[in-house]
Amino acid sequence: DVGVDAEPIQVGSIETLLDDSRRLDEVAGSSDVDVTIHVYDDMPHVWQMSYPAFPEAVEAVEELAAFVRLHTT
């Protein structure tokens, strides 16, 4: 038991941590964690900080907000 019920993973396709994110997805999934990974095309590390300037950042923040609502209500 890893102590986590669900885990969202957002990673850019040009992100330094892309391979690590994919590995986390595999390990968490094999540990019965409800994990979702979303790879955003051509996004660098922490592109979400560009909210609201980049449409991809808006999408990512909205995706995380929906995840929080789903898992906290």
Summarised one tens digit per residue, pLDDT across range 32-56 is: 899 999 999 999 999 999 999 999 9
Per-residue pLDDT, averaged over 4-8, amounts to 90
The two beta strands, 6-12 and 34-40, are: parallel
Residue pair 7/70 in contact by the 8 Å Cβ criterion: no
Average pLDDT, the chain: 94
- Label residue 2 by pLDDT band (50, 70, 90): low
Q: What is the DSSP letter of 64?
A: H
Look at residue 1 in the predicted model and tell me its pLDDT.
54
